[in-house]
Structure 1
């Protein structure tokens, strides 16, 4: 058996490779990188590397040759639908038997703009006839890094999420779940709604109070105010601060209020509690 992980130099891919090599022999694992320069660290860590980009169908077909199972980490670039089509076309042409794809909560019915590319990709995979699991990931707790670090610094927990809820979880554990899916050693459904317990920002702030021992002024405001606050207090550049604030508006919309499936069943252990996850990332 051979398994290929795309996006292997990114955070999710790095975590997935680390988890995967605990499940299958490392010589069965291949990592996809965009260049030899980016591949260097992967090779140092003992992984076989294939070079390809989502924009180059020929390179993808060459990389997918003799690969059985694919962990397809979605592109983060704007206009990614053609890229995703290249990946699925190459997988179909080279006879890949299974795809685990990192998608978005209830992608096929969600009205969130973020769901559109994922719904498109899920449809391509369905039409390809390739066996699959759509890993519909909720929200990484890491996405709230600016909000949380600025709260710890200033005593103000400020957000634009209203009463919306999200199923925050650790990127590491979402990637471990993906590794288990693509390993072929466990039974996974064709669709898995991945996430932690649904919480509001106020509940997230309360969990942070418990693990930090600090009390926060809890401020609900608009995205522009959040962005400026993060630029001033979390040392975030404007683009990053704007992204965080706009992400909070997605939470406010209700798009992430998707009840997770049985994470313990598929992860093989309980998902870290919100308090433990906060400790791991932010409490030193």
Structure 2
């Protein structure tokens, strides 16, 4: 049985490779990289490296030859639907028997702009008639680092999302779940992977506990939110992107109550204070 993980040079894919290598002999694990230079470190670590680009269907067909089970880590926004369609067609042509795809919470129901590409990809995989599991990953705690770093620097945890809740967990926890699902056969078609949803106010309290610093939770308006992040060195367009995430959270797009993540991992998730401590001490 041969396994391939896409996005292997990124954070999520890198964690997934690490966890999968605890379950499978490295000789049966393949990592996808866009070029030889990016894949060099993975090769040095003992992984088989395949070169392929989502934008190039032929390269994906070639990279997926002989692969049975594929962890398809979603690409970056932009031309994502066309690129994802390439990957699915390539998997079909190469004879991949099972796809684990990193999707978005309640992708088929969500009104978030982020959900559209994932809903599209889920449909493409279904239509290709390849066995699959959709990992509808909630928000990585790492996504909040610009806000967290500003709070540590200023003592003010500034947000817009009011009482909106999010199922934050560590990226490595979602990646470990992905590796387990890729390895085993007994998971349902859809897994809503989420920690217990909490508000930003509760997250600020967890940061206070993790850091030992006085942290005040401050609900602001859109301008105040962007100005705070820009003052911390974030470019204006990136700050605006973070604002769009806040809008999704305020409208409940990430408020998903599910114990699927804990069930897959077969253990309790890292507490928010301990998870934050892990991130701020890196």
Q: Provide the TM-score with structure 1 as the length reference.
A: 0.96
Contact 1:224 1:245 in 2 (8 A): no
CA RMSD of aligned residues (A): 1.3
- Aligned-partner SS, 1:135: strand
Q: How does 1:1-284 map to 2 (within 5 A)?
A: 1-184=1-184, 187-233=186-232, 235-283=233-281
Structure 1 unmatched runs, 5+: none
Matched positions, count: 282
Distance 1:224 1:39 in 2: 41
Per the TM alignment, residue 148 of structure 1 is displaced from its structure 2 partner at its CA by 0.9
Contact 2:195 2:259 in 1 (8 A): no
Per the TM alignment, residue 71 of structure 1 is displaced from its structure 2 partner at its CA by 0.1
- Aligned-partner SS, 1:136: strand
Task: Spell out structure 1 runs of 4+ moving beyond 4 A.
Answer: none
Contact 1:223 1:249 in 2 (8 A): no
Distance 2:62 2:207 in 1: 47
1:211-252 Cα distance to aligned partner (Å, 9 max, x none): 22222222111233212211213x323333222222112111
Distance 1:4 1:119 in 2: 23
Q: Provide the TM-score with structure 2 as the length reference.
A: 0.96
Per the TM alignment, residue 263 of structure 1 is displaced from its structure 2 partner at its CA by 2.2
Structure 2 unmatched runs, 5+: none
- Aligned-partner SS, 1:269: coil
Distance 2:210 2:50 in 1: 42
Contact 1:147 1:158 in 2 (8 A): yes
1:80-115 Cα distance to aligned partner (Å, 9 max, x none): 101111111111111111000000001011111111
